[in-house]
Amino acid sequence: MSEYTLTSHKEKAQELIRYLIFGVLATIVYFIIRLTIFFINKNAVFSETIAQVIAIIFAFITNKIWVFKNQDKNKSVFLQFFHFIIGRLFVLVICLVLAFLAVDKYHDFFIYLFRLEKIDYANFLFSSALTKNVIGTPLLLENFIFALLGQVIAIVTNYIVSKFIVFKN
């Protein structure tokens, strides 16, 4: 293998590691916002919307500056942000549909399907001060499961959009 190929692979690996680190941070921001708002008002679509908006702004800034180290002078920041938003809106629609169908509309079906009502919520894992407001009831646990699924879909889709459309060199 040539030195260029090794350097290229190393740079790609470092970029992917940076993306995962900042992706985890964006996910933490997302989860804190979503779960806090959901705990307060029990509306998955509203909590999803607010959490996504804040996570999108955080992700754009970190992706542009630290992940893809994009200093493209030919494309304005506003145009990049517009493309970034379009990609994120696509993911937002997927997550909103998932939240609406799985948590707001058919939560009883999914709670039954996953047997979440059979779990002993008095168990320490579900009743501790740190977890009872996040996964301490069948509805909260189901919301957490689908929020996590939405974030997996978001991470993969957003990387592809950011890498090949928004911040491509």
Average pLDDT, 10 consecutive residues per value, the chain (169 residues): 71 91 91 92 91 91 91 80 90 91 95 96 91 93 93 86 87
pLDDT attached to residue 124: 86
C-alpha to C-alpha distance for 118 and 164, rounded to whole angstroms: 45
Residue 37 near residue 52 (C-beta atoms within 8 A): no
State residue 3's pLDDT score.
Answer: 62
Buried b (16+ CB within 10 A) or exposed e, 88-113: beebbeebbebbeebbbeebeebbee
Nearest to 162 by CA among 9, 7, 21, 16: 16
Q: How confident is the model at residue 155, as a pLDDT? A: 82
Cα–Cα distance measured from residue 155 to residue 127, given in angstroms and rounded to the nearest whole number: 30
**Residues 57, 64: Cα–Cα separation, whole Å:** 11
State the pLDDT at residue 62: 95
CA distances to 18, 28, 59, 74, 76 from 21, rounded to whole Å, are 5, 11, 11, 28, 26
Instruction: Label residue 115 left, alpha or beta by phi (over 0 means left) and psi (-120 to 50 means alpha).
Output: left
